[in-house]
Structure 1
Amino acid sequence: MVDKHGDRMQFDPKYRGPLKGRSCTDCFCLIIFLAFVVGWAVIGYYAYTYGDIDTLVYPTDSEGRICGRHTDVEDRPYLVFFDLTKCVAVTSVTQGCDTPQVCVPKCPTDNFVWQLNSSILANNLTALRTAMICKIEIDVDTATADQLATYVSNDVCAQWYLTSTSVTGRCIPNGIPELFVNYTMTVADLEEASTYIELLVQVEIIVLNIYDDIIATGWTIASILGISAAISLIYIILLRWLATPVIFLSIIGLCLLLGYSTYQFYELYTAEESTFWLVLTIICGIILAIVLLIAICLRNRIRLACKLIGEASKAVSSTTSTLIFPVVPWVVEILLVVYAILAAIYLVSIKVQTYSVKLGGNCSCPEDLGYTNGTTCDQTKFNSSCTENGDYCISGGCYLNTTSRPWFSNYLHAYNVVAVLWLVFFATAFGEMALAGTFATWYWTFKKSKVPFFTLTSSCWRTLRYHLGTLAVGSLIITICRLIRWVLEWIDVKLKQYDNEVVRFLVKCMKCCFWLLEKFLKFINRNAYIMCAVHGKGFCASAKSAFNLLMRNILRVFVLDKITDLLLLIGKVLVTGGMAWGTWWYTKNYLVVTYWYVPVVLVGVGTYLVASVFFSVYSTAVDTLFLCFLEDCERNDGTPEKPYYMNKGLLKILRK
């Protein structure tokens, strides 16, 4: 029979499920993928070789010496910035500002302004010399007022500093006194510096408090996540024998949880009058209404979907190792993300410091160095070669001009982001195809009791041996779509500063379209992996075959298969929400933390990820059995010559 969505599959007496004799698929894409992975490894090696993560964690001066750890500054554990107003972002404190930074024995306990202090202490140069913070050692006995002024003008010594407090080893000013307006800054500079310093202090305090909360509740969070894993495992085990009661109890439980959440968020809104809690109240109320409508209107379809999940559990229980197998790609994904984060941190720590020459007075340099005012220079060569009156140059020097990243740094960061996305999606795809091959073998085994013991192992080997190229293609498509969505998010943020509602509306429409496209592509990819696991064809051929098969049975897809996915999502949300609220209650009553939402958010995110690992087995099982069922219906008719491979329970659920 010919259909507009392709020819129906024909009966084949030799067909026994996953093809044994097959060849490699999408080899060219695999070569590109492996080359990309090698490039990522090279970037990691470069970042680790030339970067130094300690320079981000510990305070580091302009010469690259770690305060309190380098041999030259062992007795100076704190860092002072000459001019914090030149640090244009909070991250500049750890990544480097275009202002001199000096290690000191302790943070300043007084305010210092060169224009003010130099006039007050004009008759007491020793006190003035002692009060100054400089990049070099000043001779407190012989330095003249003119020499000190030269140091200040050339950024060898700080023009000003403030009473400061150590935050992670960096001296952060407690505030800016009004006297600075008349001596070092304009009113605009004062406001900018004051705002920056206040923001910096607040961010540092918040980060430290969050860090302390994580340390204080670390074991508690780990224990709760362990409980979450146990609950998820028990939940999917119960689906084996009590699928329908468990699913309906989950729906009731989710409704109660949403109702309780709505009530609690409304109480918080009335107490704090915060728009945030009002938004959460409305969202929970809307979701509760949607769940109730779905449960009431689709109750018959839900019962059928519950039976389908029960049948899928038979396939899962036939190879119990499938329950634990998703942990493998999950751990691989975590390791990939950790590698990407470390690579990014090491790349950030790579600094290129540019020094320029400032000459004055009698300071001179050998002609072969070619040093003139403004030219780049090397500090070691300058200090050893340039002199003033036969001694160290006082009126000039080789001073820090800028601290920047290598010109290709942004390209390496972009490569790192693309690589981690591609490999994470690749690992997920591998798990889906391996499980699909396992459940397809169970389905296409006529006598289910004779399913091979090493079915999962065989499926993993087939995927590794023949279909890594197919996985590379599918994961690359999702990666590209995700990157486009991120670019649109960035454009949307940038457009907020312009009052152009039409353009912003178009961008939001594009964001919505690409979100839907990504969901559709993930749906097509999963079914393509299933067809590839069964028939051993390339990505495009498998995707086309799966799409045509689904379109020929479109009603069944939407009224049953997608409802099953929704029910599994309800289970994940119920477990996640229950553990999050349980953590909130325990934190409020038994833990002492600064921010109660830190353990709650960590447990919520962690529980959802853990639950997704276990529930993904059932999701893949249902999709695989459903696709195999559709193929079975086209190939066979239930007669003794063409018997169905589905068992009686599945036949009763999916056939009239």
Structure 2
Amino acid sequence: QDRKCTNVLCLLFFICFWFGMLVVGIVGFVKGNPNRLRYGYDFLGRTCGYGDVKGLKYLYYPFPYNSTSSSTDLTWAVCLKDCGLTNASMLSIIKIQGVGANATTDSSSFSSVMSSFEGPQQSFAYLTDQIQEKWGVIVASAGIALGVSLLYALMLRLAAKPITFAVLIFTWFLLGGATAILSIKAGFIDSSQLPGSSYSSSYLPAGFTFQQAQQNQNLVIAAAVICGVIFLIYTLLFIFLFKRVLIAIEVIELASECIMTIPSVFVFCIFQWLVMISLFVWWIFVMLYLVAAGSWDANAHQYVWDTALQRVMIYHFFGLLWGRSFILAIGNLVVAGASAEWFLVDDKLNLVLPVLSSFRRTLRYHSGTAALGSFIIAVVQMIRWIFRYYMYQLKKMNPDSKIVKVLAFIGECCLACLERFLNFINKNAYIQTAITGAGFWTAAVAAFNLLVRNCLRIGTLNIVATIYIYIGKLFIALVTGIICALIMVGGDYGNVTDAPVFPMTIILLIAFGIASIFLDVWEICIDTIFQCYCMDEE
């Protein structure tokens, strides 16, 4: 009830910026001619099919290869009424020295086998036919993946504790076994003194023995020491962080229960991604007009972009980065607000539209916070793209320079780490804003201090949650793929492998995408409930 609008100035700046984006779109629509990209233009800059060359919609390159520079040259082109249906083929004759034989064949021989070679058009038509034949299963795979996602949440709600301990204990045995084997190979342990070593050796794979390694001794010793240190650290962490592991499991169970109680959060996520897709469609549409808005250079026989147009394109590109980050920020605030409301009320089963309430609250009070946080991320992403551009130019000038490659690698790593850190801070700041109604900077400081005070807990929670995220993505994608494959082959388990590869690839990608969306929501629920728990405890 005591909330007020946060970071209003940044929201006003965001609105003004997007007013500029609309102006950019109008400029592109007025000056651009996307038909130039669709049909091409001749050596005089005339768009094929329009103006002086109306009716000539096909582009032909009479001299596509420049023998002087030994490179492709597409500056000379003419517009034609049609290009015909004749395929042009070129055979490469390989000269072989030392072969003393001659063979002569009729020229019709090549024509007789020409039809056996499939071109890109035939392959594309075949893949399109597969999609048309299985389109129903492909569309249904989205709903199946969502159902499997809810099933995964139910599994975590009912069995998160045994699954977690099974994974942790399995990892402990795996590290212990690897350490023992490497220690024997390194000579730290005498295998002949081990109980039952002669009996167990008969079950080992061919070529593998419990004997000290004779080759690469130093490498084996180093591997044994490293594996042993990791095993020791893992064991100590498991012992000393056992209580924190239990808390992490409780938080994961609560997050799963939260998602099962308010499944409408997925409806909002679908709406969020539809808005994201609309942003990308708008951006591409405007960019096509901007790209086609250049001026004709008669000397170069091509259209060029002046400085003003290049700056407009940069502005438009930054708008994409900021808009994308803003949509994701709104999504984080809405999901965090609904999760916090679920955690803080007593009657969790009778919540009245918590997602819609959180959405209204976010738009009314905290759009400025989303604009500020997303602006910071967009600036860092823009710096990364500028850095990549200049590194690309340096690599073109010095393709073999190791210094340039090292600088590019180090710079990209540093900027990627900075972006990940700021994303982490932003996400937790959004959660604080959703819980307390504070502005961005106040929420960021409060979230950072809260996480520092509970750093061991948050570290343990992140490790356990990461395990479930990776397992969840594989589980949802594979189960969805198996179900869809069974549908395609009519329920015949023995012929599951006969399901068409291309539709199955699309289905797996759809399932993996939905799993990623689901687990992103689940991760925000986990972080929100953890912060609520820590604040409640304090």
More helix by share: 2
Q: Give the C-alpha shift of residue 542 in structure 1.
A: 0.6
**Which runs of structure 2 are paired with 1:176-575 in the superposition (5 Å)?**
209=123, 213=127, 216-217=130-131, 219=135, 221-244=138-161, 305-355=248-298, 401-445=301-345, 447-449=346-348, 452-496=351-395, 497-575=398-476
> What is the rounded CA distance, in whole Å, between the counterparts of 1:505 and 1:28 in structure 2?
41
Letter of the 1:606 counterpart: I
**Which runs of structure 2 are paired with 1:17-96 in the superposition (5 Å)?**
20-61=1-42, 62=44, 64-67=46-49, 73-74=54-55, 76-85=56-65
Q: Give the C-alpha shift of residue 312 in structure 1.
A: 1.8
**Which runs of structure 2 are paired with 1:625-644 in the superposition (5 Å)?**
625-634=529-538
Q: Secondary structure of 1:353's match?
A: strand
Please list the CA deviations of residues 89-145 of structure 1 after superposition, one character each: whole Å capped at 9, or x if unmatched.
xxx99xxx53242224445x9xxxxxxxxxxxxxxxxxxxxxxxxxxxxxxxxxxxx
- Distance verdict in 2 for CA 1:468–1:508, change over 3 Å: same
Q: Secondary structure of 2:79's match?
A: strand
Q: Give the C-alpha shift of residue 72 in structure 1.
A: 5.4
> What is the rounded CA distance, in whole Å, between the counterparts of 1:337 and 1:612 in structure 2?
19
Q: Give the C-alpha shift of residue 588 in structure 1.
A: 7.1
Q: Give the C-alpha shift of residue 351 in structure 1.
A: 4.1
Q: Give the C-alpha shift of residue 208 in structure 1.
A: 8.4
- Distance verdict in 2 for CA 1:312–1:34, change over 3 Å: same
Please list the CA deviations of residues 44-85 of structure 1 after superposition, one character each: whole Å capped at 9, or x if unmatched.
233234333333233554553444x889543x4532224324
> What is the rounded CA distance, in whole Å, between the counterparts of 1:58 and 1:249 in structure 2?
61
Confirm or deny: 8 A CA contact 2:373 2:440 kept in the other structure.
yes
Please list the CA deviations of residues 435-461 of structure 1 after superposition, one character each: whole Å capped at 9, or x if unmatched.
21122122222x234864133222211
Confirm or deny: 8 A CA contact 1:251 1:570 kept in the other structure.
no
Letter of the 2:460 counterpart: V
Letter of the 1:319 counterpart: I
> What is the rounded CA distance, in whole Å, between the counterparts of 1:581 and 1:413 in structure 2?
45
Please list the CA deviations of residues 565-611 of structure 1 after superposition, one character each: whole Å capped at 9, or x if unmatched.
442233124333665788899897343xxxx5x65664444333211
Q: Secondary structure of 1:79's match?
A: strand
- Show the counterpart of 2:113: none
Q: Secondary structure of 2:60's match?
A: strand
Confirm or deny: 8 A CA contact 1:581 1:600 kept in the other structure.
no
> What is the rounded CA distance, in whole Å, between the counterparts of 2:337 and 2:415 in structure 1?
30
2:79 equivalent to 1:102: yes
Q: Give the C-alpha shift of residue 482 in structure 1.
A: 2.1
> What is the rounded CA distance, in whole Å, between the counterparts of 1:87 and 1:573 in structure 2?
52
Letter of the 1:101 counterpart: V
> What is the rounded CA distance, in whole Å, between the counterparts of 1:56 and 1:216 in structure 2?
30
**Which runs of structure 2 are paired with 1:99-178 in the superposition (5 Å)?**
99-106=76-83, 165=87, 174=89
Q: Give the C-alpha shift of residue 556 in structure 1.
A: 0.8
> What is the rounded CA distance, in whole Å, between the counterparts of 1:314 and 1:329 in structure 2?
22
Q: Secondary structure of 2:59's match?
A: strand
> What is the rounded CA distance, in whole Å, between the counterparts of 2:317 and 2:508 in structure 1?
25
Confirm or deny: 8 A CA contact 1:434 1:456 kept in the other structure.
yes
Identity across matched positions, percent: 28
> What is the rounded CA distance, in whole Å, between the counterparts of 1:83 and 1:54 in structure 2?
23
2:523 equivalent to 1:619: yes
Letter of the 2:520 counterpart: S
Give the TM-score normalised by structure 2: 0.69
> What is the rounded CA distance, in whole Å, between the counterparts of 1:53 and 1:559 in structure 2?
53
Unmatched runs of 5 consecutive residues or more in structure 2: 94-118, 172-226, 489-495
- Distance verdict in 2 for CA 1:528–1:503, change over 3 Å: same
Q: Give the C-alpha shift of residue 410 in structure 1.
A: 2.5
> What is the rounded CA distance, in whole Å, between the counterparts of 2:15 and 2:170 in structure 1?
47
> What is the rounded CA distance, in whole Å, between the counterparts of 2:128 and 2:165 in structure 1?
36
- Show the counterpart of 1:131: none
- Distance verdict in 2 for CA 1:60–1:582, change over 3 Å: farther
Unmatched runs of 5 consecutive residues or more in structure 1: 1-19, 110-163, 166-172, 179-204, 255-288, 357-399, 635-656
Confirm or deny: 8 A CA contact 2:37 2:292 kept in the other structure.
yes
CA RMSD after TM alignment: 4.1
- Show the counterpart of 1:148: none
> What is the rounded CA distance, in whole Å, between the counterparts of 2:17 and 2:33 in structure 1?
25
Q: Secondary structure of 2:498's match?
A: helix
> What is the rounded CA distance, in whole Å, between the counterparts of 1:622 and 1:34 in structure 2?
32
Confirm or deny: 8 A CA contact 1:73 1:103 kept in the other structure.
no
Confirm or deny: 8 A CA contact 1:436 1:530 kept in the other structure.
yes
Letter of the 1:336 counterpart: L
Confirm or deny: 8 A CA contact 1:422 1:479 kept in the other structure.
yes
Confirm or deny: 8 A CA contact 1:442 1:451 kept in the other structure.
no
Confirm or deny: 8 A CA contact 2:45 2:302 kept in the other structure.
no
Confirm or deny: 8 A CA contact 1:495 1:504 kept in the other structure.
no
Which shows bigger deviation, 429-438 or 400-409? 400-409
Confirm or deny: 8 A CA contact 1:26 1:467 kept in the other structure.
yes
Q: Give the C-alpha shift of residue 523 in structure 1.
A: 1.2
- Show the counterpart of 2:181: none
Confirm or deny: 8 A CA contact 2:381 2:419 kept in the other structure.
yes
> What is the rounded CA distance, in whole Å, between the counterparts of 1:241 and 1:436 in structure 2?
23
Confirm or deny: 8 A CA contact 1:253 1:574 kept in the other structure.
no
Give the number of the structure whose alpha-carbon radius of gyration is greater.
Answer: 1
Q: Give the C-alpha shift of residue 316 in structure 1.
A: 2.9
Letter of the 1:314 counterpart: E
> What is the rounded CA distance, in whole Å, between the counterparts of 1:344 and 1:210 in structure 2?
27
Give the TM-score normalised by structure 1: 0.58
Q: Between Structure 1 and Structure 2, how many residues are aligned? A: 435
Q: Secondary structure of 2:408's match?
A: helix
> What is the rounded CA distance, in whole Å, between the counterparts of 1:404 and 1:214 in structure 2?
37
Please list the CA deviations of residues 448-478 of structure 1 after superposition, one character each: whole Å capped at 9, or x if unmatched.
3486413322221121111111101111111
Q: Give the C-alpha shift of residue 353 in structure 1.
A: 2.4
Letter of the 2:453 counterpart: R
Confirm or deny: 8 A CA contact 1:33 1:472 kept in the other structure.
yes
Confirm or deny: 8 A CA contact 1:86 1:98 kept in the other structure.
no
Confirm or deny: 8 A CA contact 1:532 1:542 kept in the other structure.
yes
Q: Give the C-alpha shift of residue 242 in structure 1.
A: 3.8
> What is the rounded CA distance, in whole Å, between the counterparts of 2:46 and 2:447 in structure 1?
58
Q: Give the C-alpha shift of residue 41 in structure 1.
A: 1.9
Letter of the 1:539 counterpart: F
Q: Give the C-alpha shift of residue 624 in structure 1.
A: 0.6
